[in-house]
Amino acid sequence: MALAEAGARGRLLLWPRVFLFGDSITEFSFQENGWGASLAERLVRKCDVVNRGLSGYNTRWAKVILPRLISKSTGAESTVAVTIFFGANDSALKDLNPKQHVPLEEYTANLKSMVQYLKSVDITEDRIILITPPPLQESAWEKECLAKGDKLNRRNATTGQYAQACVQVAKDCGTDVLDLWTLMQKDQDFSSYLSDGLHLSTKGNSFLAAQLWSCLEKKLSALPSLLPYWRDVDHLNPEASLL
């Protein structure tokens, strides 16, 4: 059978997708042992995991570009879950990092704006997961700052305020939330979850992957595996199984 004929007979296979939107902690999530890579491995025959992490970005910039990444005409219908994972940069101290800093009230408004936008393109709140920034290990991050000639430009208590705001937005908007800031500090020493005081270590990636999967599993459990297992293909008439 010619390929063109096969294409005419078989409808186009559209993989559902999970959309990861965030800052560097999302961008880096496809690295070896990353939480995004772990998620993609779990879902490889069920849906695509799309990484739209943007290192250094805050919610002020994120809400501007979100409509350029997801719209009704670019697969919103096939989007089965979206994670929104910002706050690590928004919570930077204004005096020491004015470029990335976003005031707490604006951060709250920006998160709500992004949730409302997704709902406007028919991604319902039950498919949206907000993730709070992780806790900040100040002494380790201070070393990173000093190595670049800067002062410590974030504080864990401040990051916690942004995490609480993120949790409140989720309650107000009816979305799920993964409160990473609180969950990681249930262990008194959370430093092992972080590679440099801010970004996730291998252990931190594994922790986030497990927490996120427990949240996603119920949303995605009904998704079928796409295309039959190879042993189930009729080798004498493959078109009957594959088209």
Alpha helices in 17-155 (DSSP H): 24-27, 35-42, 59-69, 104-120, 138-147
Active site residue 196: yes
- Give the span between the Cα atoms of 144 and 154, in whole angstroms: 11
Active site residue 189: no
Active site residue 78: no
What is the edge-to-edge ordering of all strands in the sheet holding 128-131? 48-53, 17-22, 79-85, 128-131, 176-178
> Which token pair is 141?
């991050």
Q: Which of 150, 187, 196, 234 is catalytic?
A: 196
- Give the span between the Cα atoms of 128 and 149, in whole angstroms: 39
113: left (phi over 0), alpha (psi -120 to 50) or beta: alpha
Q: Which of 24, 191, 192, 201 is catalytic?
A: 24
- Give the span between the Cα atoms of 140 and 35, in whole angstroms: 22
Provide the annotated active-site residues: 24, 196, 199
